Copies of this chain bind each other. A is one copy, B any other.
Amino acid sequence: MLIIMNAQANQKQIDAIVKRADALGLQAHLSQGAERTVIGVIGDTRPVVRGQFQRMAGVREVVPITKPYKLASREFQPQDTAFSIDGFRVGGPQIVIIAGPCSVESRSQIVETAHAVREAGAHALRGGAFKPRTSPYSFQGLGVAGLELLAEAREETGLPIVTEVMAPEKVELVAQYADVLQIGARNMQNYPLLHAVGESRHPVLLKRGLSSTLDELLMSAEYILSHGNRRVMLCERGIRTYETATRNTTDINAIPVLKSRTHLPVILDPSHSTGHWEYVAAVARAGVAAGADGLIIEVHPDPAQALSDGAQSLKPERFAKLVQQIAAIAQAIGRGLVTPAPLPVM
């Protein structure tokens, strides 16, 4: 870290900084200029240590110069992380498509959708059993019954399941049914939950918080990684801005930024990041063109009847067309789609 002194800081104040650095086992390097002194401090400078210099006399600002995450950083691991989810690979050269309804609503709805997205070319099925809803009066999901319906859909179609877990004490339960544990945007900084999925050893899809910076997203990934779980995908799902034309603002910059800062796979959710089905295809294509390793897309057989997120769900026919556009874009940048697994023999 760099400790930037006030223009008026005196020698005694500078000496005190150096002395405290010594006491903490850190090395201080002085850069004394005409205007002000800057002190470079080398060693283990975690946030708490930084805070202790910030309030010392004569200090104007303390600037960290290393990123606060290690395990998630590409400096720490230059090669891409790739891992398998029940038969296909995330984070490799080929692009993964996860699709399905916002919520599991009924057996026929989830099984029908699973077949439809599988035929269109999806590699995994999404569907919420436990739903975080802004209103206590909105549909909160089917709970365990929803997990069981997801398991049935997997049995019939062979598609692995991506579903959200909302509380630390539910991680074990959800992990019995899910292939991938999703951490929703509202829970990106729910640390007891990150801790719990970190210990679960199940692959995790970690969604960016509504107004989280990319470094905060990486810090949340670091929580999971540091508890022993290395199979983490990051998901850009739009951020909150002043613009109201769309539900959120897709931060397309996030894709190249994350690909340069971390080795973890990066997924885009164009359904939440736009909030309108009319814009999903354009933004899905953009995501792949920008370098995303996968997409997660809401598909519903009858969006007008959906119990949640109907406005942003694609009908199966449109989704099928989109998969073909995605394949063409993937090819244009020298990638392809993951080859779907064969239908299970029943």
Contacts and interface: CB of A to CB of B under 8 A. Distances in A.
Interface of A: 2, 4, 7, 27, 29-36, 38, 40, 42-43, 46-48, 51-52, 54-56, 61, 63, 65-66, 68-69, 75, 132-140, 166-169, 186-187, 189-193, 210-211, 213-216, 219, 222-223, 226-227, 239-246, 249-257, 259-260, 273-274, 278-279, 282-283, 285-291, 303-311, 325, 328-329, 331-333
A33 B27 contact: yes
A213 B240 CA distance: 10
A36 B65 contact: yes
Contacts of A332: 325, 328-329, 331-332
A137 B53 CA distance: 18
A30 to B, nearest CB: 8
Contact of A252 (B35, B169, B222, B283): B283
Q: What does DSSP make chain A's interface, helix, strand, loop or mixed?
A: mixed
Contact of A168 (B169, B256, B309): B169
Contacts of A169: 168-169
Contact of A282 (B168, B211, B291, B331): B291
A238 B75 CA distance: 28
A133 B191 contact: yes
Contacts of A215: 245
B246 A257 contact: yes
A278 B332 CA distance: 20
A316 B219 CA distance: 33
